Amino acid sequence: MSNGSQTQDRTAGGGAGGVPPSEEYLRIEQVAAQTGLTKRTLRYYEEIGLLAPPTRTEGGYRLYSRDDIQHLERIKRLRDLLGFSLAQIREIAQAEEEREHVREAWLRETNPQTRLAWLDRVEELARHQMQMISEKLAGLQEMERNLGDRLERYGRLRADLKRQIDEQAPGK
């Protein structure tokens, strides 16, 4: 409680704006720039429990770790590319957290029965996620097939048309 040895002993970028990211903890604006999210969004994700609260300076400034950035980038992918809602993403993230905890506890446990029970749990989580993924995947693959077929047809049509044009206006 009394010695905040690692929360404040750095510069974390100059006030004016020209200093390169000197250390491994980043302030909110830098994170925003790197991830493409806004500062508001970063605070919001923390607020709704989507991102673990980062460490702070003594003054209360957020200091994000590299790990936080990884998480944010993952969140962004899940949101933009995959179209999950933040609630769904939180589910996924919490599942991963639980997995981590189980993994740690696993290492301190030697009883095979207990281990087996834990394995059941994490496997269930994984299967659940796998199902969500597979559904989406199937839908997207079908769309991809259809589009691919269409593009192929277009390719053939294009070839036909070029022949016609060449035949019709052969000389110059």
Bridging pattern class, strands 55-56 and 62-63: antiparallel
Residue 57 or 129: the one with the smaller Cβ distance to its own copies is 129
Selected from 10, 40, 77, 103, the binder of its own copies by CB under 8 A is 77
Residue (39 or 74) nearer to DNA, CB: 39
How many residues of this chain bind DNA (CB under 7 A)? 30
Select the residue interacting with its own copies from 19, 48, 52, 147 (CB under 8 A): 147
Could you tell which of DNA, its own copies, none binds residue 133, using a CB distance below 5 to 8 A set by kind? its own copies
Rounded-to-integer distance, Cα 99 and Cα 90, Å: 14
**Interacting residues of 51 by C-beta distance below 8 A, sequence separation 6+:** 42, 45, 68, 71, 72, 75
Of 23 and 152, which has the nearer Cβ to DNA? 23
Long-range pairs for 9-18 at CB < 8 Å and ≥24 separation? 12/57, 12/61, 12/63
Min CB(53)–DNA separation in Å: 9
Under the criterion CB under 8 A, does residue 105 sit at the interface with its own copies?
no
Nearest C-alpha neighbor of 43 from the set 57, 33, 29, 24: 29
Cα within 13 Å of Cα(89), Cβ side: 21
CA dist 147 and 150 (Å) reads 5
Residue type (1 letter), 15: G
In angstroms, give the least distance from the CB of 71 to DNA: 14
Strands annotated E in 59-156: 62-63
Q: Residue 38 binds which one of DNA, its own copies, none, with CB within 5 to 8 A depending on kind?
A: DNA
Selection from its own copies, DNA, none that 121 binds (CB < 5 to 8 A by kind) is: none
Q: Is 62 in the site for DNA (CB under 7 A)?
A: yes
Size of the site for its own copies (CB under 8 A): 38
CA distance 128 to 120: 12
Chain contacts with its own copies (rule: CB under 8 A):
77, 81-84, 112-113, 115-116, 119, 122-123, 126-127, 129-130, 133-137, 139-141, 143-144, 147-148, 150-151, 154, 157-158, 161-162, 164-165, 168
